[in-house]
């Protein structure tokens, strides 16, 4: 085994973490055997409740008039004051959207005075006295309530935070939290096909967005890739009460949030007001298949339903004399959608010998994909809150999420030979036509099932001890993600060859048209049917399987201790804490292929024709086509193994390149303090956080050489054994670093409705695993070629350090009565340690550091090899402005029937600059960075009807690979000038729509439409033109509008 670095002390998680955790708990038990208040003092404890809904209010402000004492209700709606001198006091409770309430209480020495405070709607005509005596609540849910909860959270937060109630935007298709979050300021989302896969905050790549559940990191297997992005497939909105988006962290928050963090707050029975059962029942349909019957399915040779039911149930109850709260939820969502893609795969970017313009760029390779997909998501959650006493509360949060999808991507591919050796003349080509000899034509696809599970469990304990608050907890999270094909009834793909085509012609309307008329001619000039792809003329050349398996496992422990006190008549607090997290992840891919031999080599695709999925249009105006059945081909492949020759070398190379095993320990500690001045109108919170990161990984030490099972072929470092397992040497690498993260948050409230915030925080973004752990590949010069005297090396870099950022933010917020906010944020981030791929001559230091063979240094007529590796270099700056307006229309000038309505609009606009030397052609444009995001909409609430219209705009951005993070770059020569252009995602505007109709006091009918106008997803290359950027289409994808029809209610 090769070791790239000396093995450092990366200890097992359970040893140091559990020892430290148990020691802290033991110390607490010794030092604080119980809380005893001064016998001459009293205390106050109470609950603040929304009188209209019966729900406890979180972060309601409770103030003792005439003093500097202010408290905020916790996650159960409870507030506490300790060490209060005996006497009569007036306490004032306030919450955004509700009417302030004053209550007079008497505090007795040595006793706790209990008070329950009911708050009415701001426009309610019910007197305070009448509210006190109400015995029952009319249970309603309104957008006004959701907005008031969210704005109150934002208003009372210590740092810059946006909070939204989980029902604020209505029903969300499939419960995907990304479809919800995309409406919030500063948030954009990444799509994979029709599904939101990951989240970006303030433009930053999704690998830098920290996603937690109740403050604890949830596992994500990353689709088997070496990435840090949290993927949303295996988490559901059904167990979420609120979503918190934080832009700048406090010292107590994790530092890995270059763009920000997202926290999902789970539902709890105490906050929801006791016993209730809510339900949703629905049907889900795609706009292209609205019929209730069966039709040709996504998998071969079968008809399937396209309209599917779904269900969501959530039960809460409070038991044992208000000491035990139980919440149990279940959801099951089934979804079918089309996936149609038109894609150009090759162009002539140097037309007319490089003297032409962008209008002369021509298309050489075209692909059409028809990929129907079925998805099932299930989620089970169970949350328990138990009060040992009113000041000692245990919480258990648990959820299990399942995701499975079946997708059958059927591809047709046509390619014109544009090489000079073929006699092709590019004067016969332009944006609107290309004619030339056929180079290749094929049928292929990607036919697989994807599935995985996530288990997340979090246990915590919280103690309120007068001016002291202690909380601690443990959590465990495990996620799996798999792809399967042959074992699930299909091949992953096939390689084919279409015979009988001599000439191809593409005729299209323009460079941006997602349609081309395809003509195929035989050697005699006869026009061929089916655009040349005739199953009887199509040979089966290879069979491919691509099973994939990955797992991510996270365990952690945390402890926080807070002390509140007075400083010169001002309230202050100091808090310390520690957290330890252990993450382990592995992934591998069995990407194997076989060549047809013997009788299989004489078969055509007509021998496996799918008689059910036939004459189905792939969209874009094309007619229906014939397709082979991957299921039939898989059955033949398994029944006749002797007719398929295993490609051992290719399979070995592909599998070793994907193998990956990693462990990461992050240990953190912090101290933060806060003081409130000017009668609480000015607060200052600051401190520092320390984080230690230890990471180690193992990958195959494969160097581009290979030997087969008999030892023949290349001499190398690995082989595939007879049972199919890989035998290979492994390289172990590891690194460790410490980082410190100061932060400071100032909040000034000169008037009741006006808040200014000034914040600074130092954050980090750890590099992707792909850049740190990968197979070293060495390509030696060809000894048979006397002109080939330079080898190449591609290697990962485990010594990469994290990206660092100093972030500054100035925000002004104005809150409208009763519900509404207008805010403007100006911010700037100074970042360093950008990771870029660098190619240079190998050095002796590289040989020593990375364990490379001496031959790569050259000699005997061989030049030193060229090495390509990721390095941290260059600095970048992000400057931005963020605007947010959310306004309830509950005013007298609004017609009465619309007074429950509201409007909202937000936008984030960014400017970037960077200095990366010659390693990147994009000085001021970062790949995978969203410079513009805009959301706006309005909510109409009248009579028994509620309608929501939500628009979302995502601006242009440079597309980057989800695995490598690198841009796709093309070289061009136009008018004699050469340059580079990157693949970009075109600006996209979508519209979602909801309607709810109240049938009874406890039941509603709802309709939801996602992307109701079926806006396409387009990728484009922009070339320099006389009038600015000249767009050239790369691909266009369409998925149809997704409709949901259902009923929901509450018992």
Q: Identify whether the C-beta of residue 188 lies closer than 8 Å to the C-beta of residue 182.
A: yes
Cα gap 472→459, rounded to integer Å: 9
Q: Does any domain span residue 96?
A: yes
Q: Identify whether the C-beta of residue 965 lies closer than 8 Å to the C-beta of residue 205.
A: yes
Cα gap 224→591, rounded to integer Å: 13
Distances (CA, A) of 32 to 24, 39, 465, 507: 12, 17, 9, 81
Instruction: With CA atoms as reference, report the closest residue to 289 among 298, 279, 281, 276.
Output: 298
Give 606's contacts (C-beta < 8 A, 6+ positions apart): 535, 536, 538
How many CB atoms within 10 Å of residue 739? 19
Per residue in 97-141, pLDDT tens? 899 999 999 999 989 999 999 998 877 766 666 565 343 433 344
Count CA atoms closer than 13 A to 441's CA, side-chain side: 25
Please report where in the chains the tokens 């917020």 appear, as a residue: 813
Q: Does any domain span residue 696?
A: no
- Is beta strand 977-985 parallel, antiparallel or unpaired with respect to 969-974? antiparallel
Tell me which DSSP letter residue 345 carries.
E
Q: Does any domain span residue 1031?
A: no
Cα gap 324→124, rounded to integer Å: 33
Cα gap 298→301, rounded to integer Å: 9
Q: What is the pLDDT of residue 752?
A: 87
Q: Identify whether the C-beta of residue 563 lies closer than 8 Å to the C-beta of residue 467.
A: yes
Long-range contacts of 744-748 (CB under 8 A, 24+ apart): 744/684, 744/685, 744/686, 745/158, 745/159, 745/160, 745/248, 745/250, 745/684, 745/685, 745/686, 746/682, 746/683, 746/684, 747/158, 747/682, 747/683, 747/684, 747/685, 748/681, 748/682
Q: Identify whether the C-beta of residue 107 lies closer than 8 Å to the C-beta of residue 89.
A: yes
Q: Does any domain span residue 88?
A: yes
Please tell me whether the peptide bond between 818 and the residue prior to it is cis, using omega within 30 degrees of 0. Answer: yes
Give 272's contacts (C-beta < 8 A, 6+ positions apart): 55, 56, 241, 316, 327
Cα gap 377→449, rounded to integer Å: 14
Cα gap 634→492, rounded to integer Å: 9
Please report where in the chains the tokens 């604080």 appear, as a residue: 32
Q: What is the pLDDT of residue 784?
A: 74
Instruction: With CA atoms as reference, report the closest residue to 638 among 486, 493, 444, 447.
Output: 486
- Which uninterrupted H or E stretch holds 772? helix 769-772
Cα gap 164→154, rounded to integer Å: 9
Tell me which DSSP letter residue 715 carries.
-
Q: Identify whether the C-beta of residue 769 lies closer than 8 Å to the C-beta of residue 754.
A: no
Q: Which domain holds residue 72?
A: 38-138
Per residue in 185-224, pLDDT tens? 999 998 888 888 899 999 998 989 999 999 999 999 877 7
Tell me which DSSP letter residue 300 carries.
T
| pTM of the predicted model as reported, rounded to 2 decimal places | 0.90
Q: Does any domain span residue 615?
A: no
Give 108's contacts (C-beta < 8 A, 6+ positions apart): 42, 86
Q: Does any domain span residue 58?
A: yes
Q: What is the pLDDT of residue 34?
A: 46
Q: What is the pLDDT of residue 6?
A: 29
The string of DSSP letters for 487-547 reads GGTS-SEEEEEE-S--EEEEEESSTT-S-EEEEEE-TT-PBPSGGG--GGGEEEEEEEEEE
Instruction: With CA atoms as reference, report the closest residue to 727 among 773, 781, 659.
Output: 659
Share in percent of the chain as helix, strand, coil (round to 5): 10, 55, 35
Q: Does any domain span residue 119?
A: yes
Tell me which DSSP letter residue 15 carries.
H
Task: Give residue 569's region: left, alpha or beta (phi > 0; psi -120 to 50).
Answer: left
Per-run averaged pLDDT (10 residues), the chain, 1051 residues:
32 50 53 57 92 87 92 92 93 92 92 91 69 42 69 89 81 81 92 88 91 95 83 89 93 93 92 88 95 90 94 95 95 95 92 89 94 95 95 96 94 84 55 88 94 96 94 97 91 94 92 94 95 96 93 96 92 96 91 92 95 94 95 95 89 78 94 94 96 88 49 45 56 87 97 95 92 81 78 86 95 92 96 87 88 82 86 88 91 80 94 70 75 94 91 92 78 93 94 94 94 95 91 96 95 87
Tell me which DSSP letter residue 586 carries.
E
Instruction: With CA atoms as reference, report the closest residue to 771 among 700, 847, 849, 837.
Output: 837
Cα gap 264→266, rounded to integer Å: 6
Q: What is the pLDDT of residue 895?
A: 83
Q: Does any domain span residue 113?
A: yes
**What CATH number has the domain bearing residue 46?**
2.60.40.1120
Tally of domains within the chain: 1
- Grouping H, G, I as helix, E, B as strand and the rest as coil, residue 854 is helix
In sequence order, the β-bridge partners of residue 1043 are 285, 1009
């Amino acid at each position: 085994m090769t070791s790239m670095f000396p093995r450092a002390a990366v200890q097992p998680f359970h040893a140091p973490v559990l020892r430290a955790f148990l020691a802290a708990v033991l110390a607490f038990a010794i030092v604080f055997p119980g809380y005893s208040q001064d016998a001459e003092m009293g205390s106050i404890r109470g609950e603040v409740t929304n009188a209209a809904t019966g729900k406890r209010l979180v972060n309601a402000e409770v103030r003792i008039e005439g003093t500097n004492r202010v408290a905020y209700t916790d996650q159960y709606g409870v507030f506490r004051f300790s060490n209060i001198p005996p006497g009569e006091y007036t306490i004032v409770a306030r919450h955004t959207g509700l009417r302030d309430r004053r209550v007079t209480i008497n505090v007795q020495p040595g006793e706790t005075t209990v008070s329950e405070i009911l708050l009415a709607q701001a426009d309610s005509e019910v007197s305070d006295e009448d509210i006190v005596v109400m015995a029952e609540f009319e249970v309603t849910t309104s957008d006004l309530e959701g907005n008031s909860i969210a704005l109150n959270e934002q208003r009372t937060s210590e740092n810059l935070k946006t909070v939204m109630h989980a029902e604020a935007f209505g029903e969300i298709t499939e419960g995907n939290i990304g479809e919800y979050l995309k409406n919030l300021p500063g948030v954009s989302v990444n799509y994979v096909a029709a599904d939101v896969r990951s989240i970006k905050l303030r433009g930053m790549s999704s690998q830098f967005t920290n996603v937690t559940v109740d403050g604890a990191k949830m596992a994500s297997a990353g689709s088997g890739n070496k990435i840090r992005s949290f993927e949303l497939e295996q988490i559901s909105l059904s167990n979420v009460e609120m979503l918190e988006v934080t832009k700048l962290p406090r010292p107590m928050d994790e530092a890995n949030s270059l763009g920000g963090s997202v926290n999902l707050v789970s539902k709890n029975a105490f906050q929801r007001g006791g016993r209730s059962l809510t339900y949703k029942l629905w049907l889900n349909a795609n706009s292209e298949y609205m019929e209730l019957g069966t039709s040709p399915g996504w998998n071969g040779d079968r008809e399937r339903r396209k309209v599917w039911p779904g269900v969501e149930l959530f039960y809460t109850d409070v038991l044992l004399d208000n000491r035990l709260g139980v919440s149990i939820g279940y959801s099951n969502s089934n979804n079918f959608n089309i996936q149609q893609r038109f894609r150009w795969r090759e162009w002539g970017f140097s037309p007319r010998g490089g003297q032409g313009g962008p209008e002369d760029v021509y298309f050489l390779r075209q692909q059409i994909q028809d990929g129907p997909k079925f998805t099932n998501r299930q989620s089970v959650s169970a949350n328990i809150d138990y009060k040992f006493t009113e000041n000692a509360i245990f919480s258990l949060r648990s959820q299990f999420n399942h995701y499975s999808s079946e997708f059958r991507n059927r591809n047709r591919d046509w390619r014109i030979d544009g090489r000079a050796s073929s006699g092709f003349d590019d004067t016969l080509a332009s944006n609107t036509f290309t004619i030339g000899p056929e180079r290749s034509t094929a049928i292929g696809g990607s036919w697989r099932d994807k599935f995985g599970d996530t288990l997340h469990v979090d246990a915590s304990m919280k103690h309120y001890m007068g001016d002291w608050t202690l909380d601690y907890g443990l959590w465990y999270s495990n996620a799996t993600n798999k792809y399967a094909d042959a074992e699930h009834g299909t091949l992953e793909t096939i390689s084919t060859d279409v015979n009988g085509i001599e000439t191809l012609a593409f005729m299209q309307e323009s460079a941006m048209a997602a349609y081309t008329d395809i003509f195929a001619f035989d050697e005699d000039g006869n026009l061929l049917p089916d655009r040349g792809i005739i199953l009887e003329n199509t040979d089966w050349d290879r069979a491919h399987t691509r099973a994939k398996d990955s797992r991510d496992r996270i365990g952690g422990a945390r402890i926080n201790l807070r002390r509140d006190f007075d400083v010169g008549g001002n309230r202050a607090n100091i808090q310390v804490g520690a957290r330890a997290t252990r993450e382990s992840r592995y992934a591998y891919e069995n990407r194997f292929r076989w060549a047809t031999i013997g009788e299989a080599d004489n078969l055509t695709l007509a021998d496996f024709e799918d008689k059910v999925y036939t004459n189905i249009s792939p969209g874009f105006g094309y007619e229906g086509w014939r397709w082979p059945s991957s299921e039939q081909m898989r059955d033949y492949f398994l029944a006749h193994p002797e007719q398929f020759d295993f490609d051992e070398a290719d399979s070995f190379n592909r599998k070793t390149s994907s193998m990956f095993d990693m462990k990461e320990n992050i240990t953190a500690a912090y101290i933060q303090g806060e003081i409130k001045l000017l009668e609480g109108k000015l607060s200052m919170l600051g401190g520092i956080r320390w984080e230690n990161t230890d990471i180690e990984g193992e990958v195959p030490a494969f160097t581009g050489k290979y030997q087969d099972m008999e030892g023949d072929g290349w001499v190398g470092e690995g082989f595939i054994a007879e049972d199919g397992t890989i035998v290979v040497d492994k390289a172990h690498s590891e690194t460790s670093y410490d980082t410190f993260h100061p932060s400071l948050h100032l909040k000034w409230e000169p008037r009741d409705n006006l808040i200014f915030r000034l914040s600074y925080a130092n954050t980090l973004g750890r590099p992707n695993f792909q850049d740190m752990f990968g197979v070293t590949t060495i390509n030696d010069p060809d000894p048979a070629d006397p002109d080939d005297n330079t080898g190449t090396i591609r290697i990962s870099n485990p010594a990469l350090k994290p990206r660092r950022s100093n972030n500054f933010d100035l925000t002004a917020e104005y809150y409208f009565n009763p519900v509404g906010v207008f805010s403007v944020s100006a911010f700037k981030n100074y970042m360093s340690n950008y990771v870029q791929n660098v190619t240079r001559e190998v050095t002796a230091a590289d040989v020593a550091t990375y364990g490379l063979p001496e031959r790569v240094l050259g000699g005997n007529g061989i030049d030193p090899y060229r090495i390509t590796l990721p390095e941290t270099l260059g600095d970048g700056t992000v400057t931005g402005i963020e605007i947010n307006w959310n306004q309830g229309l509950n005013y007298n000038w609004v017609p009465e029937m619309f007074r429950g309505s509201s409007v909202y609009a937000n936008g984030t606009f960014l400017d970037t600059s960077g200095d990366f030397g010659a390693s990147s052609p994009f000085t001021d444009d970062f790949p995978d960075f969203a410079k513009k995001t805009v959301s706006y909409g309005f909510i109409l609430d009248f009579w028994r009807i509620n309608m929501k219209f939500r628009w979302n705009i995502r601006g242009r951005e440079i597309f980057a690979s989800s695995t490598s993070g690198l841009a796709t770059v093309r070289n061009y020569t136009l008018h004699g000038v050469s340059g580079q252009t990157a693949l970009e995602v075109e600006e996209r505007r979508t519209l979602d729509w909801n309607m709810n109709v109240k049938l009874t006091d406890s039941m509603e009918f709802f309709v939801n439409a996602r992307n109701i106008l079926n806006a396409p997803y387009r990728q484009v290359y922009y070339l320099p033109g006389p009038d600015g950027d000249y767009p050239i289409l790369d691909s266009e994808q369409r998925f149809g509008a997704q409709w949901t029809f259902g009923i929901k209610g509450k018992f």
